[in-house]
Each structure stands twice: as structure tokens, then as C-alpha cells.
Amino acid sequence: MDPESVEVCCEPLLAGALSNAEAEDLASVFRVLADPARLRLLSMIAAAGESCACDLVEPVGRSQPTVSHHLAALTDAGLLTREKRGRWAWYQIVPERFVALQRALQPRAASPIDSVDGNSPVTM
């Protein structure tokens, strides 16, 4: 068999794979996101555009120190920014950080796949 006539069935496994540093960074962010209270805080802040820490205690049902701890963890992970206004801290999401997370989780090839019924292609 002629080696030049052999077709390659797939891309190499490591094409587009995360580097060790990227994987470590993403793993640390996902550890922060693994807490349900933090996910709720993040979703509330994202929905509002920005939120004062004082308005987040009651909806989460946690004490103020606990909410502050969770907000600090989200800020340290680069998911939120914090702005001090008087005696209150206001938080906003960092959209670029979420774009980076989304890109890391997207399939590398944007080719169509067959739908469940096998008739129409679905793009990922």
C-alpha cells in the first residue's frame, strides 16, 4: 500500500488542546464555580448588570460575611470586578473571562453533525 494514498480519518488528538497552564487556570476557575451559592450570586449580578453587596445577602439566604467571602472568591478568580462606592462594594461580571471559558469548552471543529433523526445537519 502506498503511504501517500492513506487517508487520515481524524485530526491529531492534541490539535487545539489546552496547554498545562491553560488547564490549571481553567480548573481553578471551575473550582470557584462549583459552589451553588457562588453560581447564584454570579447569575444575579449578570442579570442585573451590576449589584451592591448589600442587595445580595437576602436573596442568597447566607450571612453577610459568607456572601462577602463568596464574592471575594469570584473576584479573585477574575469573574467579577469590585468597585467601592462609599461604604458599599458594587460588583460587575467580567465578560471577557466568560468568553474565555466558553472558548475553552467549545468543540475545536465547527463542522456539522447529524441530528438525532439523521436527516438534517446541526451546527455546534
Determine, yes or no, domain membership for 114.
no
Q: Model-level pTM?
A: 0.70
pLDDT at residue 124 is higher than 50:
no
Cβ-contact 11, 109 below 8 angstroms:
yes
Q: What is the pLDDT of residues 56-106, one digit of tens each?
A: 999 999 999 999 999 999 999 999 999 999 999 999 999 998 888 888 877
Place of cell 485530526: 11
In a domain, 120, yes or no: no
Asked if residue 123 is part of any domain, the answer here is: no
What's the total number of domains in the chain? 1
Residue 108 per-residue DSSP state? S
In a domain, 39, yes or no: yes
Residue 77 resides in a domain: yes
Is 38 among the domain residues?
yes
Q: Determine, yes or no, domain membership for 76.
A: yes
Spell out the alpha helix ranges (H) of the chain: 20-33, 36-48, 57-60, 64-76, 95-105
For residue 68, give its domain range.
24-100
Find the CATH number of the domain harbouring 68: 1.10.10.10
